[in-house]
Structure 1
């Protein structure tokens, strides 16, 4: 296994391995929590803006990947089947769009749109708008006729008013040592999970039962198919026989989830870890051993321009507890009624 950022690995080991040296930073955690609380109060009371359609925020309270993107895609597909025209708002980390707000299209590149927004657009076909100013992005999507908006990784972006909050947590890593930055991995105190509308725990059959918050809905990521990075051709999971060795490349928040999935598929991955949102180049793929290369769909959008024919990406579905969907319907119906009443 290769790691590109030893500093990041050291912090993760401290947060999730409970290394004692990090507790010397407790005064900084106190300052972080104070500033965050004041910012939240100020934005909610004086700067928050609401749009005339329901806004569902999907995010987390910890640093790193928890499985938000598959949840976003699952929500989009479900709401589309319910007759909604869905729009997704994204900050577009690392994007270099010609202008903002920027609406993702078939002509968009990963450099213009960012990896996650482009991956969401390809997986769902819904309208995706990028802007660090999420209110501007929301207004753009409302003008385009969207009837429900999803704000990707927007839990801490309090300027945009929201009607439903969904927090996604990683059951395997939990909340680490339970502290906020920089002592721990949390962006907000753990108590924040008690006031969101829904908590979804990303679990596998190997994870212990989630005790992160009572009432959390379980979710697992189910491999759906491979697709060729070069031309997006869909291929069955049997395309790579069980027992095969592969170079597994991951530039995501929690790469171990991806590697574990490959192992459960019967593959023998040689793991290559890069920072989240890493900008890949052909030099990253000069491996000594000639094996097929596999990656996530999020990484695939960045590698398509120089991909080789044997590079495959794994498409996964977020399978969420069936009880979640009627609960979401009820919450969305209630919030929609409240929005209608505000209009009158």
Structure 2
């Protein structure tokens, strides 16, 4: 009996001991000042980056191609005067809420090229960042308030992830945002009031809001998706699945550049003056009906600048091939009705023309 009690007492410290969270194990880091490496070091084992940084002022710290699974709470706290931190291509799967705190001078933060799947509330809120780079991860879930209360954030990069749904609740009290880059995701639609928390007119300086949604799966844009915005510099929607662009999408908005390259648009159903209202409208490489394209071309002569070079060449090629096919048929009929003699039979040889303009090559066979 005494022996059993002894064993129980012996095991108690192990049974109730708490495992220590360690973010950095055998991790090498480098420090930079004015783009020049000024020191490097290796963290054998530790949870706070601050404990391993030198005391002198530096501009940037970089950790690349290391193995870090989880960024635990307080791991990136108290970074003093550090301006830029990059932890890239390190196989990070999770960043815990509270991991980054008390780093008021931090302006650029990158977790590019990791394996992060989810962004939780409490990770980036209330930071003074100008740029946040979360591109090339595995992100599919972003908390509705993950990007709230970031008053100085100008640029957020979420390219090359697995984000399927745009949440209109994002970016509350993040009023300085001027560029949202979401290319190479799998977003299927932009809902009503999608950008209700975005301010396109800044208190100081020119409005510079930019939306980059290239290479998604967007099939539908609600007519009120951009409701509340007054000015957009760039709206890029290349390589999506749009079959139309509603004339009310840009209602009341001044826009510099609209890109709709390589979608599924055959013809615009609405008022061209309301659809192609940007100073530059790039709508090339869509399967336009040629009659519709001709209407756009004629309209654009006295209105906005519209780029349709490839689409126009495709229609010219189609028309040329149709004309040559008709000519070939006419000559064939004439030939059949002509008295056949040894030297009098007419034949049309197969011919190939190549049209070249601005490095684009179009082959025409007849």
Same fold (TM over 0.5): no
| Larger RCO, structures 1/2 (Cα 8 Å, 6+ apart) | 1
Q: What TM-score do the two structures reach when normalised by structure 1?
A: 0.21
Structure with greater Cα Rg: 2
User: Which structure's residues are more often helix, by fraction?
Assistant: 1
